[in-house]
Amino acid sequence: MKLTLIKTIALSSLLTCSAAAMAEQSDYKLMVIETATAPQELEQSFNSCALNVKSKNYAEAEAVCTQAIALLNNAQGSKFKLRQLTSYALSNRGVARLKANNETAAIADLYEAVQLNKNALVSHNLTRAKQELSL
- pTM recorded for the entire structure: 0.79
Burial of 53 (C-beta count, 10 Å sphere; 0-12/13-18/19+): buried
pLDDT (tens digit per residue) in 7-49: 233 222 233 334 444 444 458 999 888 766 677 788 888 889 8
Q: What is the pLDDT of residue 28?
A: 92
Distance (Å, rounded) from C-alpha 5 to C-alpha 72? 24
Which alpha helices (DSSP H) does the chain contain, by range?
2-8, 40-54, 58-73, 79-99, 103-116, 120-132
Task: Give me the sheet containing 17-22, strands edge to edge.
Answer: 10-14, 17-22, 30-33
Q: Is the pLDDT of residue 62 over 50?
A: yes
Position 135 pLDDT exceeds 90: no
The least confident of 31-40, 103-112, 118-127 is 31-40
Q: What is the per-residue pLDDT for 5?
A: 32
